[in-house]
């Protein structure tokens, strides 16, 4: 169950940078800030639950890896962030590192 909590924590980790991005527009500032705070709390609580059984270093690296890779993809697909082969390669390395940590935890 801890790995499910960690996966969800990583996915919800994507929500707070998106909320901060939404808050850059004056018309949606407070909605964006509220979303960011909500996702910070939700992601943090799920990370806390995951750390009951998963070592802190592994949990934190997986959590931030999922959040970083997911935020990268959201930025490209929804906010027009630049995409290049090297940027995709960098994210692939993050994902490979996360997968290695998961496999090494057994």
Tell me the per-residue pLDDT of 56-67, one tens digit each, with 9 for 90 and over: 999 999 999 999
% of the chain residues with pLDDT over 70:
99
**Sites in the chain below the pLDDT cut of 70:** 106
Between CA 42 and CA 38 the distance in angstroms is 6
pTM, two decimals, is: 0.88
Domain boundaries, the chain: 2-104
Between CA 35 and CA 53 the distance in angstroms is 28
Q: Is the distance from CB of 33 to CB of 23 less than 8 angstroms?
A: yes
Q: Is the distance from CB of 18 to CB of 28 less than 8 angstroms?
A: no
Look at residues 72, 13, 68, 69 and name the one whose alpha carbon lies nearest to residue 39: 13
């Amino acid at each position: 169950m801890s790995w499910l909590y960690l996966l969800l924590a990583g996915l919800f980790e994507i929500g707070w940078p998106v909320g901060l991005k939404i808050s850059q527009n004056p018309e949606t500032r407070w909605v964006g800030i509220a979303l960011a705070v909500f996702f910070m709390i939700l992601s943090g609580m799920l990370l806390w639950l995951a750390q009951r059984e998963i070592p802190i270093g592994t949990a934190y690296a997986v959590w931030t890896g999922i959040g970083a890779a997911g935020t990268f993809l959201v930025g490209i697909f929804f906010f027009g962030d630049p995409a290049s082969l090297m940027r995709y390669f960098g994210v692939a390395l993050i994902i490979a590192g996360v997968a290695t940590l998961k496999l090494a935890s057994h």
